[in-house]
Amino acid sequence: MEIRPILSAMWQNKTGPVLISLQIAFTLAVVVNAMFLINVRIEKMDRPVGIDTPNIYNLSTVPTVPVEGVRDFIERDMAAIRSIPGVVDASPVLTFLQGGSTRAEGYRPNEDLADANYRIVNVNFVDEHGLDALGIELLRGRNFRKDEIRYLDANERALPDVAILTESMGRDLFGDEDPLGKDVYYADEENRTMRVIGVIKDVAAAWLASDSPRGRKTVYNFMLQPFVETKSGRGYNYAIRAEPGALNAVMSEVEKKLFEVDPNRLIERTYTQKELLARSYGTDRAVIQILSIVAGLMVVITALGIVGLASFTVNQRTRQIGTRRALGAKRRDILRYFITENVLLTTFGVVLGSFMAYGLHLALFNLLRIPKLDPGYLPVGIVVLYLLGVLAVFGPARRASMIPPGIASRTV
Amino acid sequence: MFAYNLRLSWLSLKKTPVLSALMIAAIGIGIGVCMTVFIVYALMTGDPIPARSGHLYTYVLDNHLDEDRGPNDQADPFVGYRDVINLMGSDIPVDESVHYQSSAVFHPDNAQIKPFREVLRLANNGFFRLFEVPFLYGSAWSDEADTKAQFVIVLSRALNDKLFGGVNSVGRKVDVDGHYFEVTGVTDDFSPIPRFFETDGDVFDETDGAYVPFSLTPQLKLAKSNGSVNCIADSKGDSWEDFLDQECTWIHHWVWLKDKADRDRYLQMLKNYTVDQQQYGRYQGEYEVEIFNVMEFLKYRELVNPAYVMLIGIAFMFLVVCLLNTNGLLFAKFSGRAGEISVRRALGCSKKRMFRQHLVEIAVIGVAGGVLGLILASGGLLALKHMFPNYDNVAHLNVELVSIAILMSVVSTMITGLYPAWRICQLPPARYLKAQ
Amino acid sequence: MLKMENISKIYRTDLIETSALRNFHLSVDAGEFVAVTGPSGSGKTTFLNIAGLLEQFDEGQYELDGINIAGLDDDACSEIRNAKIGFIFQSFNLIPDLNVFDNVDVPLRYRGFGGAERKRRIERALETVGLSGRVKHLPSQLSGGQQQRVAIARALAGEPRLLLADEPTGNLDSLMARQVMELLEQINEQGTTIIMVTHDAELARRARRNVHVLDGKVDDYSAYESRLEADEKDARTTINTNAE
Ligand SMILES: Nc1ncnc2c1ncn2[C@@H]1O[C@H](COP(=O)(O)OP(=O)(O)O)[C@@H](O)[C@H]1O
Ligand SMILES: [Mg+2]
């Protein structure tokens, strides 16, 4: 390999190579960190959410003329919805899961009032159809019975006798002990308790998109209580689960049916569970998209820079290349010359860029409190940049190799 | 002379169309990306009410209600109903606003339009004065309407369009949740970004709907609908009255204070108040009383996701790469011209004039890049609006931003171009005439 | 050494066809020193390019050192150029970014010699042209004559059988031109066949044989041959006195 003469030739025209190397270094730093940040977020968005997201949708309905028995109103709606073919099940809920409003409460595993260490939990209400309507998997214990379901009066802040919680919530409260059958204490002076009758597979809390350490730690702290909210504030919220593929048909059928049951109502805030999840992860998606675009454009710009500079040098060196050919260089020797030159440039770039990537990572680490960089991204970024460089220089290099040797003896 | 320089620049750009296009594209893309990210960031962190932001204050009476305050790790800056009633009417502030967001069902007279739910803010008339809400028709309701809890309403422009086809509806009645309200005014578009005066719920969302007197709160029993309510559980009853009496924080209270002295006085008054309340068994143990003006408050609420700060940094690195790119290409271009320059220099063109000629050429590239950058930035903003409807309010170009973009492009291109131009003008006139 | 029969070369552009060589005949024996003269545009460079395998020809037969050239592929041509032919150009064609040593090194690298062998050859070639002391200089730091001598060293380093020179003195003043000419004669002495295109009648006369090209054909060169013989002795004495 003719590395030494290539290096000394580069040394004669340092500026261009230095600029390209710097560009490669910056690009590596950004691309490696972007890949990492994107992956952190993709991993976050890929976490299981514990419900049958693709087949669930939610709606909120409210009577426009006051109704006497809200309980009857809701029960009639439920019966109507559940009778629709294609509907797996439905349940009233306190808030739509994993999308928007939240009820967060504090609980502790014992009656020790001095223990200020409440566990934060996202509480939601369901009736005895809730597990089915949300596609939640019951691991141990039992579901709510129909007779345990209570319809709460307006603004009532009651506590149930029984509750169902996630595995993670159980672990947060009781460590390795099985929470089933244990009492959970509500965080008030009166030490009201509820008994754990069921343990479900982890369901993500409404703050699942939170990046704060506390939010991340409590992401699966979720509890179901056997209540139905009847306060009409913003209407009654229903979660409806359809058979796979039937969601769209079910959505219009449900609306029709509900208006049949009671025409004096509003049906609003109809969201598929997918929409809600997407909305929760809105910022993450924005960041992923912007990062991908920026990193992608950066790669393109760098490639264009390499192409531009290489084309230019090829033009400038036409005579020199002809001379080399006259002196016995084969086409592939010329090709190899330019590719070697580029590989050397890339090498300077990635060496500098590796340090910069690490520096940038430290800055981001302090800013975003994200986990430490997985060192595996750096080699990937380096390989990408080598490939990019070779690809970018290949066109101009091929053009160079096509320069006829006869050029050498023709005066310009 | 300048025209001659311009013409030479144009000829020179045309002579190397690929290099010129690459340079302009690099700068354009760099500026475009940077502008897009920067505009979003600037609007998100900007002062939503510049004329007054230093005078509007809100406060936190943190009596540790929200031990379980959730994932945000900070006390929510809301006030309980009891405290609001007690604290309103202090003589220290010039003016004040209490408000919270709810929603209610509107029943249009026009049977064609089905009943629909809309945002309804319960507010005192100070809200309109404090936050400079513009009026299209009529005005806010009177002080009397506030004190006597009259059924009056202010509609937003959009709602007025929907209910009354956009005509002046002052004096007409609207059925909301079964109550008739008389319209006193219609607001014009009002969307400070972010919506600092109620920093819970979706603060980059649009603010529409209607306003009714806050004094109707006990009567209307409208719960807060967008945002958080923090309560300490107790065994009081479950009625709306009990709720209002409970230790919950959920209402926004903003005051307009003349100067620093008044701020300190108000803070002292708040502290005195909490001490005074201890006789009722409230504000026990350790607690904090803090007061914030608008910008301090936005910072306290960490409204801007640090991810955006990161994007700004990365966008600037991107611009640096684009400029390095252009710099390299400029070097290539100018050095390809070494022969011509030697000849011109030999023919008596002074170094200074040569340099000026190059600067003009660089500036031309800069302006072209800036224009391309603007086109890309508007495309970028359009894409953002498309991807994230919430940004609708956030993302728009104005004269100021356009000039910033062009200026940024020209200045950064000039800076990067300075060195190549200087280098090339240092060439001795003879060198390239020799032996070629 | 070199035998061309009936060689034709036509340059085609979009608009016109230029017939650069027509029925070109020439045969050169090993060890000859041939000067090619002729008016500008007559096809001298074209001939040299074809002779040196830098360009293809359209018709005819060309045999170089016993190898039939027609039909050789690009790589084979490159190898022959590299091993058997040395080139000297009017405008030197040194690589401006490489110093003297690296310039002479260029063809040797393509030849695939090891480092020590290359070094030995470079040093010897530079010694021959009298530039041993300038190895670290860049072309731009040398005079025209020195540059051309570096180019000659580069052509010599591969110990070619055939040296092709296209107006090697065209860019030099007469003193430097004479030095270069003497160098070429010295090289020819040692057995290398040289074909040199020149404008300079005086230099042409010093060659052993003259070929006059006119309109892409070899023109009646017997007339030159007699003149050449007369001048031969002169040329030799000059070499001895002027060699550096
Ligand atoms: N690449 C080319 N394309 C077209 N015509 C050419 C080309 N090279 C040489 N010619 C033409 O061929 C003829 C011979 O050129 P050349 O061999 O360079 O002449 P000389 O070296 O004797 O001056 C000239 O008419 C010239 O214009
Ligand atoms: Mg010629």
Q: How far is A351 from chain C (nearest CA, A)?
A: 25
Output the average pLDDT for chain A. Answer: 89
Nearest CA to ligand 1 atom 25: C41
Q: Which ligand is located closest to the Cα atom of residue C166?
A: 2
Is the shortest distance between the CB of C45 and ligand 1 below 6 Å?
Answer: yes
| A66, A215, A305 member nearest B325 (Cβ) | A305
Best of C109, C135, C137 to disrupt the A interface (most A CBs within 10 Å) is C109
For chain C, say whether B431 makes contact (Cβ under 8 Å). yes
The answer to whether B431 contacts C147, with C-beta atoms less than 8 Å apart, is no
pLDDT the model gives residue B380 = 82
How many angstroms away from the CA of B339 is the closest CA of chain C? 14
pLDDT of residue A370: 67
pLDDT digits (tens, 9 = 90+) for B328-363: 888 888 877 777 777 777 777 788 888 888 888 888
Q: How far is CA B84 from CA A191, A231, A338, A386, in A?
A: 30, 24, 75, 65
Which atom, in ligand 1's list, is nearest to the CA of C42?
A: 22
Contact A328 C54 (CB under 8 A): no
Mean per-residue pLDDT over chain C, rounded: 86
Q: Please determine, for residue C238, whether its predicted confidence score (pLDDT) is greater than 60.
A: no
Q: What is the residue extent of each domain of chain A?
A: 3-46+283-409, 66-263
CA dist., res. B127 & res. A151, Å (int): 38
In this prediction, residue C240 has a pLDDT band, given cuts at 50, 70 and 90, of very low
pLDDT tens digits, one per residue of B291-335: 998 888 887 776 666 777 788 888 888 888 888 888 888 888 887
For A284-326, the pLDDT digits (tens) are 888 888 889 888 989 998 998 888 888 888 888 899 999 999 9
Task: Give the whole-number percent of chain B exceeding pLDDT 70.
Answer: 86
Give the β-pairing of B56-62 and B288-293: antiparallel
Instruction: Output the pLDDT for position A115.
Output: 58
Confidence class for position C8, pLDDT limits 50, 70, 90: very high
pLDDT digits 0-9 by tens, C11-57: 988 888 889 999 899 999 999 999 999 988 899 999 999 999 999 99
User: Which ligand has the shortest distance to the CA of C11?
Assistant: 1
* Residue C216 CB less than 6 A away from ligand 1: no
Range from B139-148, B372-381, B392-401 carrying the lowest mean pLDDT: B392-401
**CB burial string B280-307: b at 16+ within 10 A, e below:** eebbeeebebbbbbbbebbebbebebeb
Of these ranges, A346-350, B46-50, B58-62, the one predicted with the greatest mean pLDDT is A346-350
| Residue A213 predicted with pLDDT over 70 | yes
Instruction: Please check the confidence at residue A28 and state whether its pLDDT lies above 90.
Output: yes
Protein residue closest via CA to atom 27 of ligand 1: C41
pLDDT beyond 70 at B98: yes
Q: Please indicate if any CB of chain B lies within 8 Å of the CB of A248.
A: no
CB contact under 8 A, C147 and B436: no
Q: How confident is the model at residue C243 (pLDDT cuts 50, 70, 90)?
A: very low
In order of A326, A333, C79, C84, C156, the CA distances from C112 in angstroms are 16, 12, 11, 14, 16
Quick one: what percent of chain A has pLDDT higher than 90?
56
CB contact under 8 A, A329 and C78: yes
Do A8 and C106 lie within an 8 Å CB cutoff? no
Q: How far is the CA of C39 from the centre of ligand 2 (A)?
A: 9
Q: Would you kindly state where each structural domain of chain C is located, as residue ranges?
A: 2-243
Model pLDDT, residue C236: 47
Q: Is the pLDDT of residue A96 over 50?
A: yes
Is the Cβ atom of C214 under 6 angstroms away from ligand 1? no
Structure confidence at residue B435 (pLDDT)? 43
The ligand placed nearest to the CA atom of residue C46 is: 1
* Per-residue pLDDT band at A75 (split at 50, 70, 90): very high
Chain-centre distance for alpha carbon A37: 11
pLDDT at B74: 60
Mutate to test the pocket of ligand 1, among C42, C49, C198 (most ligand atoms within 8 A of CB): C42
Share of chain B above pLDDT 90, in %: 26
d(CA B311, CA A290): 8
Task: Kindly give the number of the ligand 1 atom that is closest to the alpha carbon of C216.
Answer: 14
Chain C residue numbers with beta carbons less than 8 Å from the beta carbon of A8 are 97-99, 102
pLDDT per residue as tens digits for the range A29-44: 999 999 988 998 899 9
Query: B26 with B376: CB under 8 angstroms?
Result: no
Q: Using the atom order of ligand 1, give the atom closest to the CA of residue C40.
A: 23
Out of A34-43, A220-229, C212-221, which region has the weakest mean confidence (pLDDT)? Answer: C212-221
Average pLDDT over residues B37-55: 79
* Mean pLDDT across B93-111: 89
Residue to substitute in C17, C37, C45, C211 for testing ligand 1 pocket (most ligand atoms within 8 angstroms of CB): C45
The DSSP string of A56-124 is: EEEEEEEESS--S-HHHHHHHHHHHHHTSTTEEEEEEESS-TTSS---EEEEESSS-TT---PEEEEEE
> Which CATH superfamily groups domain C2-243?
P-loop containing nucleotide triphosphate hydrolases (3.40.50.300)
Judge: B71–A215 Cβ closer than 8 Å, yes or no: yes
Q: Determine the pLDDT at residue A157.
A: 64
Residues from A contacting C (CB-CB < 8 Å) are: 2, 5, 8-10, 12-13, 319-320, 322-331, 333, 404-406, 408-412
